[in-house]
Structure 1
Amino acid sequence: MFWVLFLVLACAVAGVSCGRLCLAAVRAADGERAAGDPHHGRELRELSLYETAFLSGGPDRVADVTLVSMARSRRLLLAHTGWATVVDPVGRDDMERSVIGAIGPEGQTRTAPLRAAAAAGDAVRALAERLVAAGLAVPDGARSTVAGAVRQVRAAALVVAALGAVAVLMPGRSGQPDVPVAVWFTLPLLLTLSCLAIARIEIHPYTRWASPAGQRLLAALPKGTGNLLSVAVRGVRAVDDPAIRAALGHGRVT
C-alpha cells in the first residue's frame, strides 16, 4: 500500500497547480472587465498604428513598425548587414524620437540592439500603460501570472505521470494487479489535462497582448498587404521590401 503515498502526493500536486490556474484566470478576467468598463466608451474607438502593433505583437512589434516607417520615408537607413543609420535626426513622434535616442550621437548602431532598446523605451512603456488603462491590453502582471500557472499545471501533469509509473513499477506490492493502481493515478492526471484543455480554450486570450476587448478591435481592422497596418498586425514577414525585411531579420532569434 506504499503506492498510496504516491497517489496522495500526485493528487496534492494536481490540485494545487489547477487551483492556482483557476485563481489566476479569474483575477485576469476581473481585471479586464474592470478596466474595460463599457460605460466609459473606451472600447468604441479606432486604434492607432502603434496601438495596433502593440496589441498584435507587443513592444517588439511597435519597434518593428517604427523602424519600417522611418526606413520607408528615407529618414532611417536599414542595411541588410544589420546596421541602422540616422538620415533625419528629427523624430515625428515619441516612438521615432525613442529610436533616434537609442541609436545615440554617433548616428549608427546595430539593428538588433536598437530594436531591443526601442521596445524597452519609455515611449512603448507609456503606450502599454494607456492601453491597459483603456482595458484593451492585458496587464503584464496578469499575463505573466496566468502563463506561469499554465506552466505549473503542465509540470504537474508530468509529475503525476512519473509518480504513477513509479507506483506501478515499484516492487513489493503483494501481487496487486497493475491496472487498478494505474487507474487511480488517471484521476489527478485527467484533472491536470482537463485544466490545460480548458485553459487553451478559455484562458488563452489572456496570455496574449490584447485583452478580449482589444482583440475585438483588432478583428475589425481592414485587411491589407504591404502597408504599415499589415506590418503592425502580422510583423516583419508582411514587409514588402526585401531589403528592409532582411535588415530587420538580421540577428533576430526565431
Structure 2
Amino acid sequence: MLWVLFLLVAWGSAVVSCTRLCLAAVAAAQPMEATAGPRPDGRTLSLYEAAFLAGGPRRVADLALVSMSRERRLLLAHTGWVTVVDPDGRNDLERSVIAAIGPRGQSPVPPVRNLLTTADPVRALADRLVAAGLAVPAGARANVAAAVRQVRLACGVILLTGVVALLMVPPASGPGPALAWFALPLLLTASCLVIARVEVHPYSRWASPAGQQLLGRIDVPPRRPVAQRTGGGADEEPDDGELLTALAVHGTAALPDPALRAALRAHWGH
C-alpha cells in the first residue's frame, strides 16, 4: 500500500493550493472602503480611470496615444512607430508620453508604452483608484495570480504522483480504486481553476467589485466601420468621444480603423 503515501501527497497539494486560492479570491473580492477622494457611490469615471480599471496601465497608455493622435499632436503609423507633432503636453500624462518618445521625436510604440505603464502619472492614477476603493491593490492581484499558479502546479503533482502510484499498485487489486482516489483531488483542482477563471478573473486583475459596477454603467456605442472615401453606404466614423470610450472599456479591438489597431499592436522591431 505504498501508493497511499503518494495519494496523501496529492491530496495535500490539492487542499493547500485550493484553500490558498479561495482565500486570495475572497480577499480580492472584499468591498474596499474609500480612504481618500469621493465615495464610489454616485461618482462617474473619467476615461483614463475607466481605461485603468478595464485594462490596467497598458490600456491607459494606449488611450493616451490614441487621444493625442486624434488631436493631431502625435502621428501613429500602421508600421508601429509614433512621431511627435506637437511637443507641448497639456497635462502630466501627455508630457510623459512625449518624454517616453524621446528627444528625437520618434520611436516604436512598444517601448513608449512600456515606459508609460510605469510613469508617475499612471502610478498616481492607480493609487487614487485604490484609495477610492475602485481598484484592486497590487498585493491582492499578486496573491490571486500566485494562488492560481500554485493550483496549476498541484494539478501537475497529482498527475505525477498518480502515475507513480499506479505503477506500485499490486496487480491483484487492479488500478481501479487508485484511479478513483486520484481522480478526486484532480477534479478538485481543475474545478477551482475553472471557477477562478469565471468568477475571479473579471475583477481581480484591476477593478474591484465597486469599480466593476461603475464600468458597467458606461454606455459604449456599438462598433461601426470607418466611412469609405468612395461611399458605399457605410456608417460615418464615430466621433472622438465614442471612439475613446470604446477603447478605454474594450481595448484596441474596439478601434474601427485597422491602421490604428496595427500601430498599437505592433511588436518591437516593426
> Does structure 1 residue 5 correspond to structure 2 residue 2?
no
Greater Cα offset, 189-198 or 76-85 = 189-198
Q: Does 1:182 align with 2:182?
A: no
Task: Indicate the larger mover: 63-72 or 75-84.
Answer: 75-84
CA distance in 1, matches of 2:62, 2:55: 10
- The residue number in structure 2 matching 1:60 is 58
Alpha-carbon distance in 2 for matches of 1:72, 1:248: 14
Q: Report the alpha carbon displacement of residue 14 of structure 1 after superposing the two structures with TM.
A: 1.1
Amino acid at match of 1:43: D
Give the stretch that moved more between structures: 234-243 or 100-109: 234-243
Aligned 1:107-122 pairs, distance under 5 A: 107-122=105-120
SS at match of 2:26: helix
Letter in 1 for 2:76: L
Alignment-derived partner of residue 128 in structure 2: 130
Deviation at 1:43, TM superposition (A): 3.3
Deviations 1:203-249 (A, max 9, x none): 33343211111111111111214411011112122223333332222
Q: Does structure 2 conserve the Cα–Cα contact (< 8 Å) formed by 1:57 and 1:209?
A: yes
Structure 2: distance between partners of 1:78 and 1:34: 39
Retained in 2: the 8 A contact 1:146–1:206? no
Alpha-carbon shift at residue 36 of structure 1 (Å): 5.0
1:244 aligns with 2:241: no
Q: Tell me the residue number matched to 2:144.
A: 146
* Counterparts of 1:27 and 1:160, CA distance in 2: 27
Cα distance in structure 1, aligned partners of 2:202 and 2:33: 16
Structure-1-length-normalised TM-score: 0.89
The TM-score, its normalising length taken from structure 2, stands at 0.84
Q: Percent identity?
A: 59
Give ranges in structure 2 of 5+ residues lacking alignment. 224-237
Task: Count the aligned residue pairs.
Answer: 248
Give distance in 1, aligned partners of 2:41 and 2:144. 24
Deviation at 1:252, TM superposition (A): 6.8
Q: In structure 2, how many angstroms separate the alpha carbons of the residues matched to 1:62 and 1:207? A: 18
- In structure 2, the CA distance between the partners of 1:12 and 1:102, relative to structure 1 (3 Å rule), is same
1:129 shift after superposition: 0.8
Over aligned residue pairs, what C-alpha RMSD do you find? Answer: 2.1
1:160-219 deviation digits (Å, cap 9, x = unpaired)? 122112211336x26222111111222322322332243234333343211111111111
User: Which structure carries more helix by proportion?
Assistant: 1
Give the 5 Å matches for 1:211-230: 211-224=208-221, 225=223, 226=238, 227-230=243-246
Question: Are the structure 2 counterparts of residues 248 and 141 from structure 1 closer, same or farther at C-alpha, using a change threshold of 3 Å?
Answer: same
Gaps of 5+ in 1: none
Separation in structure 2 between the aligned mates of residue 174 and residue 77 of structure 1, nearest angstrom: 72
Alpha carbons 1:71, 1:244 under 8 Å: kept:
no
The DSSP-based 3-state class of the residue aligned with 1:35 is: coil
How far, CA to CA, are the matches of 1:81 and 1:187 in structure 2?
51
